Structure 1
């Protein structure tokens, strides 16, 4: 009887130790990244119900992890204020949406991905996060290359259910497991940043590091995405600027930051003045014309409800107003505005735009200052990722849902942990620590 009674009593303790362990935190992080990185692949192979079930299961696990780690996590520092306000405003928009039930379902998806990102931000440090994301991206990009070889070289037939057109033999554009060339290009740039930080942190063997960087570079170029070159140039410039700032003596760092900021403004103005010539050189005139028409119509409908927007949907419900009307007028089938700023203006109004820009801008400033002062290269991952998201948002709406939204939330959480006002406020308040298994 004593042993029988002891068994059930010890079970919750064992479960709590498992949920609080470092090994379980890593497994959860890898699983969450794998689901978001491979979302299109999972839906194409298994269906949207399976994908939603996986995300729901991960959210249950996330809540359980946060609960067992509650002694080591301050509620005050759990979620950035701007993120909280943005998610709450998106929820409020359900009540004036043209389809409240559908809008609420989309909001649940937004909140679920944010929950996963917040959990990762509190149970893994930056290097552990980078390593987990790097492992997932290596597998995803390798699988993409294998499928493109099978489709475009060996069988010479498109894999339509995956969106793979089989253009590898003609050097692109290719899509991999991501559905479109633009998403592949974005993921490849995210991978380049991640792999470069892994290399700088010496967390990979040299051979695997070279393979990873070569794979990401090759797929970025083969995607033939009109936005990839701009994204690569911008991220490369940001990397160089950050390297200069990090190398400057501490006393001269503010002046260096100011001078470089001025140079960036001058270059940005010059690029805007010469935008038509740059677009012609990139061969993206037709693509830009299509996007301009889409943005113009989206702005027209946004102006009819400028403050609150039409209600949150994330990716468009093409049967709802105003999305259906925009597609009808253009005689095209768009599922986003191809611009995160235009998209959130359309759906959440100027309030949503301000909250999104505040969330990303504050996180960028905090993480940039942090990266410029800390010795380890791993702290450069957050500001460079935010730069990539900010630039991508001018051509795609990826930062509002899926992997892009997860990365944005994760970066905001990470930046707030080191530079947030709540971090300073709670610095003197000790917290307990949940025992964890040793890191491998």
Structure 2
């Protein structure tokens, strides 16, 4: 009797699970989940301030489960052949094996798992959504972040004239900034505003949202960028403008002239980079960043001395620095507070994963940028400009911040690198292990 009822009792549960998986693969759910993922990834600082680390990890785990269900439901529509660039596999793989020599094993396990979680969310964005949908999800999420940030700054700086300390908001809007919003620091808020500006302009050009909506959003991003008063974001925006003009020229040029223009552009970039580095003090002084440079120079000198102890493989990956763990506990700001990062992705990677990690980061970033730039230069759909410009923003910011090694920026980097590989990966020419070759561009 019991055995006969068993299958009947399981049938409703099976139907429920099947219905849920089917719903999670739907377009509306996938887009809403994408917006939630991006919103969480770029506001983790505020979420940790309210819910603590356990709450933030719980939200991350929930989003990972929902993303897995969504991909499973749409598995027949996802091309899995060569989905992830080998350079990213090597980068995350080296993060993982650093557990073997880390002197703080469990902290490294946690840091690697946390980074891998955001990497998996980036992979979901690349697989579960097309490029225009990714741009739209990033745009919708950043609109929420910027509106909430400016609202809180108005409340703190104009209405109550008091800081909101647990969110890191100083309430300096009435003084013209700098403001921090939900980002926690002016440089990260400036980065988000610059990312939003690129995204809203692409939305305007692709008409993925009403043009009045995109224009108003761009004004909001520009105002946020102005009040953030971030010297890092200011220089990044200048580079973005130059990169955008270069891409516009390449896209309008005849196809047979593009290789020559790309070569000329490469020479200009190399020369311009060398000149900018030689004049870095003057450039930073022009955007009120000289004091930042002096503080960073002292920090980087300390990081160099620590990194040289394990210069090839590093001390072990942790992501954001735990203040109570050696050697990170010995790197202190002038006011005595511990730093959370090395304020430079390459110094940070050198300390955590050594020169091997720096090489893997540079290779993966360079491949992603070259692939996305080549696609953006000639693809008829203007949305393909977005990945190239976002990688330029991430690359420039990496010289003065470590955003790319954690949370939202790491997620975005993985997503864009995967999208870029989809069009240009050498593995697209490899046949499948079974079955006929697929006529996919991956």
- TM-score using structure 2 length: 0.93
Corresponding residue for 1:272?
277
Task: Determine if contact 2:25/2:69 at 8 Å carries over to the other structure.
Answer: no
- Give, in angstroms, the shift of residue 74 of structure 1: 4.2
Corresponding residue for 2:238?
233
The one of 410, 416, 424 equivalent to 2:421 is 416
Corresponding residue for 1:94?
99
* 2:264 matches 1:259: yes
Residues 76 and 11 of structure 1: is their aligned pair in 2 closer, same or farther, counting only changes over 3 Å? same
Corresponding residue for 1:387?
392
Residues 430 and 69 of structure 1: is their aligned pair in 2 closer, same or farther, counting only changes over 3 Å? farther
Tell me whether 108-117 or 261-270 shows the greater mean CA deviation: 261-270
The one of 198, 203, 222 equivalent to 2:203 is 198
Deviations 1:111-143 (A, max 9, x none): 100011101110101100000110111111011
- Give, in angstroms, the shift of residue 9 of structure 1: 4.7
Task: Determine if contact 2:342/2:402 at 8 Å carries over to the other structure.
Answer: yes
How well do the aligned residues superpose, as a CA RMSD in angstroms? Answer: 2.0
Name the SS for the 1:359 alignment partner.
helix
* 2:329 matches 1:315: no
* 2:437 matches 1:429: yes
Corresponding residue for 2:168?
163
**Superposition pairs of residues 173-184 of structure 1, within 5 angstroms:** 173-184=178-189
Q: What is the alpha-carbon distance in structure 2 between the residues aligned to residue 328 and residue 27 of structure 1? A: 40
- Structure 2, unmatched stretches of 5+, are none
Corresponding residue for 2:292?
287
Corresponding residue for 2:133?
128
Q: What is the alpha-carbon distance in structure 2 between the residues aligned to residue 345 and residue 410 of structure 1? A: 24
Q: What is the alpha-carbon distance in structure 2 between the residues aligned to residue 7 and residue 399 of structure 1? A: 45
Deviations 1:33-66 (A, max 9, x none): 1111121121222222111101011112222233
Corresponding residue for 1:357?
362
Q: What is the alpha-carbon distance in structure 2 between the residues aligned to residue 129 and residue 416 of structure 1? A: 16
Residues 64 and 289 of structure 1: is their aligned pair in 2 closer, same or farther, counting only changes over 3 Å? same
Q: What is the alpha-carbon distance in structure 2 between the residues aligned to residue 63 and residue 8 of structure 1? A: 19
Corresponding residue for 2:69?
64
Q: What is the alpha-carbon distance in structure 2 between the residues aligned to residue 110 and residue 274 of structure 1? A: 35
Corresponding residue for 1:83?
88
Q: What is the alpha-carbon distance in structure 1 between the residues aligned to residue 208 and residue 229 of structure 2? A: 30
Q: What is the alpha-carbon distance in structure 1 between the residues aligned to residue 300 and residue 401 of structure 2? A: 11
Residues 213 and 309 of structure 1: is their aligned pair in 2 closer, same or farther, counting only changes over 3 Å? same
- TM-score using structure 1 length: 0.94
Task: Determine if contact 1:306/1:349 at 8 Å carries over to the other structure.
Answer: yes
